[in-house]
Amino acid sequence: MIKFAVLGYGVVGSGVVELFYKNKKSIEKHAGCEMDIKYIVDIRDFPDSPYKDKFTKDFSDVLNDPEISVVAECMGGTEPAFTFVKSALDSGKSVATSNKELVAAKGDILLESARKQNCNFFFEASVGGAIPIIRPLHRCLAANDINAVAGILNGTTNFILTKMYTEGMAFSEALELAQNLGYAEKDPTADVEGHDACRKICIISSLVFGKHVYPENVYTKGISEIELCDVASADVLGHSVKLVASVKRIGDGRILPVVMPMLVPHENIMSGVSDVFNAVLVYGDGIDKTMFYGRGAGKLPTASAVLGDVIEASKHNVTVFSQTWTSSEDRSFIAPVDELSAKWYFRIPADSACDVEDSYCDENGRSFITKENLTFAQAKKTAEELNASAFMPVLGE
């Protein structure tokens, strides 16, 4: 019998409890042992909950209980999550978390704690919600040299861009709809400005390339400056505008992680990823490319990923060493965004003297995509010279 604890009874934590009891029988079959939730830790009171006898406000109940071998952390934020998770790992309890902020900021430290104690620190739910991506990356695709990953990793912004594209809504109008539907927070900064997607690409980059990539080292630009006319012109030019979080190994062994609105060609399967759905494209020397698609957030989708990790941690007492990375004091392995090489979309004044082929012109200006790759630095200079009102890279293969 494996007994585990759930930290935090918000959207995700309550989803974990709900999904666990709904599918307990088949979950135990997958785990190969009986399982139960012994504690739910939350500072709030839930007197009407059917699980009210499991609630505690004191995390030390979990920490000091030798019966607890696995902890599901669903609190969010770095503190007290970090203190709780680290102390759990340090005492040999495996942890499954949905907390991308925690993993992006402190993953290296927590993985080191897990290694020392021969337990597991799992975080499938921290990237792409329901989408299995962390485990496939280090297990199923373990024979590959993975050289790039590109993803739509934030559902809120993808919903907004979809509404701009399909219904001609302006950004502000689509954001308001997202807020009314509960897809965006009252303060939508973390989603809209790309910080959420940034944390997720940091986690993927760290896992794939083996060194911790911190959010502050990743150039991050959100979608708040995207104008409807750019979404419309991109479509005419055969592309969808998406907030893409990507990382690529560049020639000299350095990597270039970035979060930016990009043009995704219609023939790329990722251009069809709409509404709140997320997707992650992985490029490797064996697989060529493979994509993982699904709901990137939400109560039960995220709970599904947390519980998948809890089951894995319960199944056997083997420490998974393939899902790991090290700390990196030296950050010179991260190339600056200036080196980002791509074809670029520009929108310039309609009456510009600039001579471009295959451009699309309307009252908002002249839009075109370069035939050749330019670096970000070159594109920025070109944008200034042409007095461009918008410029974005095109996602390449």
Min CB(167)–its own copies separation in Å? 14
Of these, 34, 58, 60, 140, which contacts its own copies (CB under 8 A)? 140
Of these, 143, 252, 351, 355, which contacts its own copies (CB under 8 A)? 143
Measured from the CB atom, is 139 or 381 closer to its own copies?
139
Min CB(391)–its own copies separation in Å? 27
Distance CA 11, CA 20 (A): 14
Is 200 a catalytic site residue?
Answer: yes
Closest CA to 146 of 201, 208, 203: 208
349 binds its own copies (CB under 8 A): no
Catalytic residue among 86, 93, 163, 200: 200
Distance CA 83, CA 114 (A): 14
Distance CA 247, CA 237 (A): 25
311 binds its own copies (CB under 8 A): yes
Distance CA 367, CA 313 (A): 52
Of these, 1, 10, 21, 32, which contacts its own copies (CB under 8 A)? 32
DSSP class of residue 326? B
Structure tokens at 7: 């930290």
Closest CA to 369 of 349, 393, 388, 385: 393
305 binds its own copies (CB under 8 A): yes
Min CB(3)–its own copies separation in Å? 17
Alpha-carbon torsion, ordered 64, 68, 70, 75, to 10 deg: -60
Min CB(317)–its own copies separation in Å? 9
Measured from the CB atom, is 93 or 135 closer to its own copies?
135
Distance CA 180, CA 172 (A): 12
Of these, 7, 17, 27, 374, which contacts its own copies (CB under 8 A)? 27
316 binds its own copies (CB under 8 A): yes
Of these, 37, 102, 131, 395, which contacts its own copies (CB under 8 A)? 131
1 binds its own copies (CB under 8 A): no
Measured from the CB atom, is 236 or 321 closer to its own copies?
321
Q: Could you tell me if 279 and 291 are in contact, meaning their C-beta atoms sit under 8 angstroms apart?
A: yes
229 binds its own copies (CB under 8 A): no
Measured from the CB atom, is 300 or 361 closer to its own copies?
300
Of these, 1, 10, 21, 29, which contacts its own copies (CB under 8 A)? 29
Residues 60-89 that bind its own copies (CB under 8 A): none
19 binds its own copies (CB under 8 A): yes
Closest CA to 146 of 285, 330, 22, 7: 285
In the three-class reduction of DSSP (H, G, I as helix; E, B as strand; rest coil), residue 77 is classed as coil
284 binds its own copies (CB under 8 A): yes
Distances (CA, A) of 181 to 10, 72, 152, 167, 176: 18, 28, 20, 16, 9
Min CB(382)–its own copies separation in Å? 32
Measured from the CB atom, is 143 or 353 closer to its own copies?
143
249 binds its own copies (CB under 8 A): no
Distance CA 250, CA 252 (A): 6
With contacts defined by CB under 8 A, name the span among 104-112, 169-177, 300-308, 328-336 that binds its own copies: 300-308
DSSP class of residue 137? I
Q: What are phi and psi of 230, to 5 degrees?
A: -75, -40
Min CB(338)–its own copies separation in Å? 29
Q: Which residues pair with residue 248 across a beta bridge?
A: 148, 256
Strand order in the sheet with 390-393: 360-362, 365-369, 344-348, 390-393
Active site residues: 200
Residue ranges that bind its own copies, judged by CB under 8 A: 19-20, 22-23, 26-27, 29-32, 124, 130-132, 135-136, 138-145, 267, 269, 271-274, 277, 284-295, 298, 300-301, 303-305, 307-308, 310-312, 315-316, 318, 321-322
